[in-house]
């Protein structure tokens, strides 16, 4: 009989207060994982940790921190590991979207996206990796996006940030495999999270709920998969788009709507 995967595992999730991060925590709660929750909003995290304990998780602790702040992240992870034990699995999920329209390109917005999506992932990994290397075991996962594979209108900085995560995890996988540490890249398409507007929810095809995303991610982590792109139809379209002549691609995307910013 196969031993259950999650009971007793210490799982640290960044961006845990909403969207994919919250859905993943709620998915893992009844499966016996010990959950370390990181996000900026302490009140929301505290409410979530209480509800997870009520749902039967082995343990759930919250540590408020901005992932772009390396010192704050190190302190948050240290506090969570003091309460839960060494981190077995990190899910670096925190991310934001800001438009990068060429007509009014905003460097401050660009820096915010890079700080959260790229530096935030680096800070989370840096906080747990030394311990994993000492123990000779562990699992790193980070949430990128199918947007890393395609050029979408007004989304250049967001795409660049997610492409950086893809490249980072590809390289870490090579370096960490001999040390007994697994690496999983998570690449969702459009997921129904607070990032989307109501209008986008009506028009986006192949929209995945946060709960379905959590199930797919958990299954990929259980199986130790190197990559988890979903939904498959969106991933295939993105891959196919890469083979189109550049002129044809530009004409097609000229009519594609820009994503709106939410949760600013």
- The Cα–Cα gap between 192 and 204 comes to 10
Of 61, 97, 158, 256, the catalytic one is 158
| Helix or strand holding residue 221 (H, E) | helix 210-222
Residue 235 has which token pair?
A: 């991933």
The contacts of residue 189 (CB under 8 Å, 6+ apart) are 145, 146, 206, 208, 230, 231, 234, 235, 238
- The Cα–Cα gap between 11 and 199 comes to 34
Pairing of strands 34-39, 59-64: parallel
CA atoms in the 13 A half-sphere facing the CB of 215: 5
Active-site residue flag, 158: yes
φ, ψ dihedrals at 41, nearest 5°: -90, 100
Q: Can you list the positions of beta strands (E) in the chain?
A: 10-14, 34-39, 59-64, 89-92, 138-143, 181-188, 191-192, 208-209, 227-230
49 in Cβ contact with 18 (< 8 Å): no
CA atoms in the 13 A half-sphere facing the CB of 73: 25
- The Cα–Cα gap between 129 and 159 comes to 26
89 in Cβ contact with 222 (< 8 Å): no
Whether the upstream peptide bond of residue 231 has omega within 30° of 0, thus cis, is yes
Q: Which residues are catalytic?
A: 158
């Amino acid at each position: 009989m196969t031993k259950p995967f999650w009971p007793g595992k210490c799982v640290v999730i960044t961006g845990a207060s909403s969207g994919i991060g919250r859905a993943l925590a709620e998915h893992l709660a009844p499966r016996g994982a010990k959950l370390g929750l990181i996000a900026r909003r302490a009140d929301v995290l505290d409410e979530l940790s209480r509800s997870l304990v009520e749902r039967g998780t082995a343990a759930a602790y919250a540590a408020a921190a901005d992932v772009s702040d390396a010192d704050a992240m190190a302190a948050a992870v240290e506090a969570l590991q003091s309460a839960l034990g060494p981190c077995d699995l990190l899910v670096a999920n925190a991310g934001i979207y800001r438009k990068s329209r060429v007509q009014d390109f905003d460097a401050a917005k660009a820096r915010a996206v890079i700080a959260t999506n790229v530096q935030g992932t680096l800070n989370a990994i840096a906080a747990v990796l030394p311990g994993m290397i000492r123990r000779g075991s562990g699992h790193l996962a980070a949430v990128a996006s199918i947007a890393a594979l395609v050029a979408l209108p007004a989304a250049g900085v967001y795409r660049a940030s997610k492409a950086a995560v893809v490249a980072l995890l590809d390289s870490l996988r090579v370096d960490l495999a001999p040390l007994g540490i697994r690496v999983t890249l998570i690449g969702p398409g459009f997921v129904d999270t607070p990032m989307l507007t109501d209008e986008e929810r009506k028009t986006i095809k192949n929209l995945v709920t946060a709960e379905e995303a959590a199930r797919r991610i958990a299954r990929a982590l259980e199986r130790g998969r190197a990559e988890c792109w979903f939904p498959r139809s969106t991933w295939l379209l993105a891959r196919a788009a890469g083979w189109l002549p550049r002129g044809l691609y530009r004409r097609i995307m000229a009519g594609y709507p820009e994503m709106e910013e939410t949760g600013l």
